[in-house]
Amino acid sequence: MGEEKEISVKLPDGTGLTAPAKSTVADVAQIIGPGLAKAAIAGRLNGIPVDLSAAVGDGDKIEIITENSSEGLDIIRHSAAHLMARAVNELFPDAKFGIGPSIEEGFYYDFDLPLSLSADDLPKIEAKMSEIASRGPKLSRAELSRSDALKLFKDADQPYKAELIEDVETDSISTYDLDGFRDLCRGPHVPSVNRIKNFKLLKVAGAYWRGDENRPMLQRIYGTAFAKKADLKDYLHRLEEASRRDHRVLGQQLDLFHIDDALGAGLPLWHPKGARLRQTIEDYWRSEHLANGYDLVLTPHIAKTDLWKTSGHWDFYRENMYSPMEVDTQQYIVKPMNCPMHMQIYRSRPRSYRDLPIRWAELGTVYRYERSGVLHGLLRVRGFTQDDAHIFCRPEQLLDEIKDVIKMVQKMLPAFGFSEFDIYVSTQPKKFVGTPEHWSLATEALEKALTECALDYQIDPGEGVFYGPKIDIKIKDALGRSWQCTTIQVDFNLPERFEITYKGEDNKDHQPIMIHRALLGSLERFVGCLIEHYAGAFPLWLAPSQIAIIPIADRHFDYAKQVKTRLTKAGLKVFIDSRSESMNRKIRDNQVQKIPYMLVVGDREAETGTAAVRLRDGTDLGDKELDVIVEHLKEELESKKLQSDWK
Active-site positions read 339, 368, 386, 388, 390, 470, 516
Query: Who contacts 200 (Cβ-Cβ below 8 Å, separation ≥6)?
Result: 126, 223, 224, 225, 232, 236
Quote the strand ranges of 438-558, DSSP E. Answer: 458-460, 470-476, 482-491, 502-503, 509-510, 513-518, 547-551
Q: How many residues does the chain have?
A: 647
Buried b (16+ CB within 10 A) or exposed e, 215-237: eeebbbbbbbbbbeeeebeebee
Phi-psi region at 329: left, alpha or beta (left = phi > 0; alpha = psi -120 to 50): left
Q: How far is CA 51 from CA 66, 176, 351, in A?
A: 12, 11, 64
Buried b (16+ CB within 10 A) or exposed e, 421-448: bebbbbbbeeebbbeeebbebbbebbbe
Given a contact cutoff of 8 angstroms between Cβ atoms, the answer to whether 542 and 390 are in contact is no
Given a contact cutoff of 8 angstroms between Cβ atoms, the answer to whether 84 and 202 are in contact is no
How far is 318 from 337, CA to CA, in rounded Å?
12
Query: Who contacts 390 (Cβ-Cβ below 8 Å, separation ≥6)?
Result: 338, 339, 342, 359, 360, 514, 515, 516, 517
AA identity, residue 9: V
**Rounded to the nearest 5 degrees, what angle is found at the Cα of 401, between the Cα atoms of 487 and 397?**
135
Buried b (16+ CB within 10 A) or exposed e, 291-313: ebebeebebeeebeeebbebbbb
